[in-house]
Structure 1
Amino acid sequence: MPPPGTPPQFLHARKLSDYEVELSWQPPLEANSDILYYIVRVWNETTDLQQNVTKTSVVINVDSESRYNASVSSWTRLGDGGVLIYISFTTTDAEPFDPPQNVTVVNTDASSVTLMWYPPTEPNGIIVHYTIYYSFNNTVTEKTVPVSDLYSHTSPDSRLSYTLTGLIGGNNYTFWMASSTVQGDGGVHSEPLILLLPEDAAPLSASRRTSRAPCLSRTAKPSRGLLPWAQTLTHIRPLTSTHSSCRSLCFFSVLCLPTPFFFLLFLEDLTP
């Protein structure tokens, strides 16, 4: 006879409305055969509901403001695969038992950060908003994000995301989160995330800026027999539109100095 399988995992309840609760769970880690269906049982002092389902979630109708118990078992062709220890839940809104799950940073630049997370596993009611806290320079700021803004393009069980803007690059920030029902956040927060934002692009330094080369002009005709670099340049004028005659491009090497120097000179055309 094959050994019995392990029970389903991670059963939790999520209130959808005053009269509806969603139960969800994960399949067993080990099953003695293919799972044919699950048996979900929900009961309280006055009612007892049992339902067969083939998926790993089910929506049940409940009375408002009541406490319930729930259990799930998996069934194969060989029989019962094991019963999950039941959980208790209430349809009355309360504070969440746990914070947003798996909060991570997925994108960042010098002035913004995008956070991603999953809803709490035990919200104890309907989550109405999330709060993102972030601290910088001994100042804590909080951003309230309504659930209606997050679920517009996704399902309630999907991974959620939000982008914070207006941050200052080159500084350390600490981020953490909480989720709230109408009763509050229960004082439970996610683990803090510490992040160094990248700096803004550095401005171009003066040494790398492009500038116009000066136009060097002569004040006298060159003396016969003197090399060009031996002539005395007595005046330097900036290159303007009035000096369009600076067309000749010459390279000269000053060999008489300890280290050769090269000068790029724009010279007026010389006339005899």
Structure 2
Amino acid sequence: MKPVFRLEQQQHQQHHTAVLSGLHPATTYHIRMLAINGIEPSAYTDPIAAKTQEEAPVGPPQSVHVETLGPDQLLISWKPPQVELWNGDLLGYVIYWNVHGASSVGGNHTSSHTIRGVSVNQFRLTDLRKFTRYDITIAAFNGVGVGPQSAVVTATTQEGVPEAPPQSVACSPLSSQSIKVSWLPPPSNRHGGLLQGYKVIYRPVLKDNIIHVATSEVKRTSSIETYLHGLLKFTNYSIRLLAYTSVGDGVVSDPTYCSTEQDVPGPPAGIKALALTGDSILVSWLPPEQPNGIIVQYTVYIETSETGPVEKHEPTSFPVRVAPGTETVFEVRSLVELQRYEFWVTASTIVGEGEGTRPVTQTPNSRAPARIASFSQILRQAVKSSVLLPCVSVGLPIPTITWRRIMDIIRGEAGSIYEISQQGTLSIHRLDKSKEGNYTCMAKNLWGEDQVTYQVLVLMAPDAPSLELQHTTSRTIHLRWRATDDGGAPIQGYILSYKRDHGNWQEVQLDSDRLSHTLQSLHCGATYHAYLTAHNKVGNSRPSSIVTAVTKGGDGDSNENLVVIILQHPVYLNLTWHSIQNSQ
């Protein structure tokens, strides 16, 4: 056996020790000895085996490579350190990473993950920031400690969509049909890529008297302010914003509300002029379909209607101030019997007076035929509520009033579902679908008769929407739904409720024009439950059937941090032997 190390000591003790230094860690050595005197050396002892203790590896992993898998994932691969640098049996690897420039890898901002098993040679980092540059190193470890880190490898995640909405959204009206909107970009660390621009999503907020569905409009801009034009007058708008990259749209902001300014109103929706007596006429009208503001006054205009070339005079006007409970009727007195008069009505807001109705003519008559000043209308009322059907009648002698539903005469009684006041108003209480239909008021006297018809529609809460699962990923669940019966009133929005198994319910508010939604930032390999409700002006629908979905993958959320105490000591062997006594 050729000696690797040779140690010579001259000792005269019965018990001897020696230290072999400069050895390799975790290495088995075969040791034999001989004794030497003045004559000749003895034979070697039988060899003994001894192994030095382990030390932390002194070489880093090799061929470290990082590949981009997506907007939030990187794939890291490597090879083990050179075997002679292991200093023991490798147990695994520690991966360190941080955002480039945040600090040196291994500093306070560094994340780490421990991989156990020397045969593993790749790992996927997930939940990273989109479109972000990362510094990555790897170190091997054994039972004693962690070795040196590899050289830093830098890689950038792919571009994604913005992870936060625009900030500080503000709006202000510029006119009755325009609004200015301004905002700030999302936080710089949440851009998810290179921002291409913004989308301004706006829609009018439904009013109780609006029955059509208001859809959202979208305006694109690369600026951080924009102007919305061509809006409805004196209308409250819901305004939301999102930023987008080349990959797609980001998170939508919560709605900000802004109302356009008032303007002059449109004309009243209808007008009647009815002979009341021999010197008076009753004028009635309907409010404007487009009030464009708060109506503060109506003005009734009267003009003598003559045939032939006569001198024209300025019409006489009678302002009718609007107050709570004000009826849209006005009695014009001190007229000349059988003289023909022309009437029209305007409405006014604080901005000014609007257009007038079409003119109508009438003559005072002491033999006034029965007429009804109320107007035929369609009335929409919520279930379980009450509705009033006015029937203001005029004529001499005073007309008799009869209410009918189809061919049946309605005889109202106090405290019943149907009540008829002394003024002829029909009240219908505790509305349900069976009360829908046409209700006709008839007025009759010696000189004539008249009638108006109301169509009563009973509004219900929507039916439950139909919710279904589209697909899942490791972090998202994509849902879509179909609206069913809206109950007669436009759906104003949806509430999506969801929870993880054994978790608490969470809610997401969604606009009425949304028919799909993606639940994001979920746990992978987890079970979730979701249901949807719709709501209109009447109330909420029943919940949809519960949809259960499982995100893909296993639970990869936990990143272990390796804590190792490195024991530093010299590598040596302590040898002990006994001298062979000379028998001579």
Q: Which has the larger radius of gyration?
A: 2
Scaled by the length of structure 2, the TM-score of the pair is: 0.20
Structure of greater relative contact order (alpha carbons < 8 Å, 6+ residues apart): 1
Scaled by the length of structure 1, the TM-score of the pair is: 0.40
